[in-house]
Amino acid sequence: MLSNFAILACSALIPVVTAQLPPLPFNMSYTPDLSPAKVTLAQKAEWCRGETIVCDKLCGAPSQIPKTNDCSSDTLAFSCICQNGTAPGLQYYQNSLPSFICEETFKQCEAARAGDANGQKDCKTGVQSKCGTQSADKATSGGSNGATTTTDSTPRATQGGNSQGGATSSTQPASAATQVPQFIGMAAAAAVMGAFAL
C-alpha cells in the first residue's frame, strides 16, 4: 500500500522533472531531444548568451537596459522584459533562445526523417518555417506600444546552408501570446517508475 502511494506521489512530479523545453511562443510539429546527449551544456550556454544579447538589443541597449534579462543554460528557462514592461517577440529573431531551439528541432527532425520526402516537407513547414529570421541588429526598440519594426533586404545563410532573403518589412507585436507546450520524456518517467517498483 505504501509503495502504491509513493508511486502515485512521485508520478505527480514527473512532468516537472522531465520537461525538456521551456515555454515557447509557438508549437512545432516535432519534439526535439534537448538532453545533454544531443545538446551539450556548453551549447546551451552559448544559446543563453545569444538570448541575452538579443534581449538587450530589442529592449534598446545600450541606452536602455532590460528590466529582466535572464536565461538558464541548465533549464533553458528565459525571461526578457524591457523597461517599458513589454516582452519582445523573441521568436521572430535570429540568435534568440526560441530560434536556437527551433533550429535544433529542425536539424533533429530532418535527421529523423532522412529519406522520407513527406517527412522532410513536414520538417520544413512544421518546424523551419517557425524559426526566427529577423535580425535584432536591424530592429528598433519598442516604444510605449512595445512594437518592433524591422526592414531586411540582405540574404543570410541558415544552419542548413540555404540562404533566405529578399526585401521584407514587418511589424511584430512585442508581446506574443504564449502557448506552453508540455513535452514529457517517457524514458525518464519509466526510469523513475522503475526505481519505485524495486
Q: Which long-range contacts (CB under 8 A, 24 or more apart) does 44-50 make?
A: 44/73, 44/74, 44/76, 45/73, 47/71, 47/73, 47/76, 47/97, 47/100, 47/101, 48/72, 48/73, 48/76, 48/78, 48/97, 50/95, 50/96, 50/97, 50/100
Task: Report the chain's C-alpha Rg in angstroms.
Answer: 19
For residues 11 and 50, state if they share a domain.
no
E-state strands within 30-98: 68-71, 78-81
For residues 155 and 84, state if they share a domain.
yes
For residues 133 and 175, state if they share a domain.
yes
pLDDT of residue 141: 58
For residues 109 and 191, state if they share a domain.
no
pLDDT of residue 28: 79
Segments forming the whole domain that contains residue 54: 23-181
Residue 180 has pLDDT above 80, yes or no: no
For residues 63 and 46, state if they share a domain.
yes
The model's pTM is 0.62
For residues 142 and 195, state if they share a domain.
no
Q: What is the pLDDT of residues 93-137, one digit of tens each?
A: 999 999 999 999 999 999 999 999 999 999 999 999 999 999 999
Count of domains for the chain: 2
For residues 11 and 94, state if they share a domain.
no
For residues 144 and 169, state if they share a domain.
yes
Residue 187: count of CB within 10 angstroms of its CB: 10
For residues 114 and 144, state if they share a domain.
yes
